[in-house]
Amino acid sequence: MNQKFLSEKEIAGELIVFVVGQFKGRPRGEKLEPITLRSAPTYFRASLPKQLILKSEKQTIEDRLVEFQIKTYLPDILVVEARVSLENIFFDKALDYKDKLLEACYLFFEKRGGKKEWVEEYSVWVVSNYQGEPEQFFQWKEKIASFLKSEKLPLDEKEINQTLEAQLKYAKNDLVIIDWDGAFIFDPEGDFAAIVELLELANFQLLKYRLLDFELDERLLEVAKIFGSFPQKKPFLGAFLGGKEVKEGMQSIIKIRSASIFEFQALERDIKLIGDWYWARLYDLAAKKFKFEEWRKHIKNKLEAMEDIYSIVAERFSWSPERIELVGWFLLLLGWMVILIFDLWRTFFK
């Protein structure tokens, strides 16, 4: 039956919410193979970070059966996902119910040693089992936009239309809309599991950017502290007299710099999806909403700041060939001066 002619109260669907965050623990579980979406390239599976499923559980929340799944991206990122079927996806307390699901997810997360300050949360609303094109549901676009933004206040018409613009279609009868706080999936066949996995992956990457950005702040402070401990007024003499301290400081800075560059490159490599495939285009849509390019620029600026500090330290405190040659000439002149003084002493005082 075409839901275009149904009332708002008759539109059934599903709600999936999840939290992605850092945790402490030794995860043990069954390896999850990534779900192939549409026409994915052959290297698709190998390009994704590996997941383990740690636990599955069912609970009843407000007379609705909710399925929880706890997963991990190795080695230290936990994903807690809650999924529930709704007889009416547009019911009045839908956002309040979503918040309750998130609270339940956080309980699982904290029991596993999760750090609540390092978490991304997201909601996915799904409509399936319909006929016709998904645009028929835009008669409820105000609620769709509100759900995407988790906003209970009435939204302006312009804001609603801009929110619905971030969409992608594969076939005539399906549609995905992505926003910062949530996504809406319309799929008549109910084939949306891989899209949810993609959105979890996008939130995983966003979290990794945030973590790396924080770690770079800490490392910059550490590098500045090491640099500040070097003899600043007489760097040349300091490099000669305090060689061990300078050498250890240089090694620490090189180690921090190298680790930071490696982690940034690894993060870019692990989630790189190439080609004009549906999956890649959908991921690119999520990347734009999550402002990945701004995160990359921000992190690169901090890496460049670390590079500048490293260059200054290397220039001021390292023993370049020119500096070694200068020291050699200084010692040679000093030797000749000693010989000259000795000869003069022998001449006048013998």
Contacts of residue 347, defined as CB under 8 A and 6 or more positions apart, other chains included, come to none
Band of pLDDT at residue 248, cut at 50, 70 and 90 = low
| Cβ pair 121, 202 in contact under 8 A | no
| Cβ pair 134, 174 in contact under 8 A | yes
Amino acid at site 304: E
pTM over 0.85: no
Amino acid at site 90: F
User: Is residue 2 predicted with pLDDT exceeding 50?
Assistant: no
Band of pLDDT at residue 40, cut at 50, 70 and 90 = low
Residue 99: predicted pLDDT: 97
- The predicted-structure confidence for 176-214, as pLDDT tens digits, reads as follows 999 999 999 999 999 899 899 889 989 999 998 999 899
User: Is residue 241 predicted with pLDDT exceeding 50?
Assistant: no
Contacts of residue 24, defined as CB under 8 A and 6 or more positions apart, other chains included, come to 76, 113, 115
Q: Where are the alpha helices (DSSP H) in 271-320?
A: 278-289, 292-317
Band of pLDDT at residue 52, cut at 50, 70 and 90 = confident
- The predicted-structure confidence for 84-106, as pLDDT tens digits, reads as follows 999 999 998 999 999 999 999 99
User: Is residue 3 predicted with pLDDT exceeding 60?
Assistant: no
Contacts of residue 320, defined as CB under 8 A and 6 or more positions apart, other chains included, come to none
| Cβ pair 12, 188 in contact under 8 A | no
The Cα 124–Cα 263 span in angstroms is: 30
Compute CA distances 296 → 67, 268, 288, whole Å: 35, 9, 12
From 240, 249, 218, select the one nearest 313 (Cα to Cα): 249
Band of pLDDT at residue 67, cut at 50, 70 and 90 = very high
- Which helix (DSSP H) or strand (DSSP E) does residue 94 occupy? helix 94-111
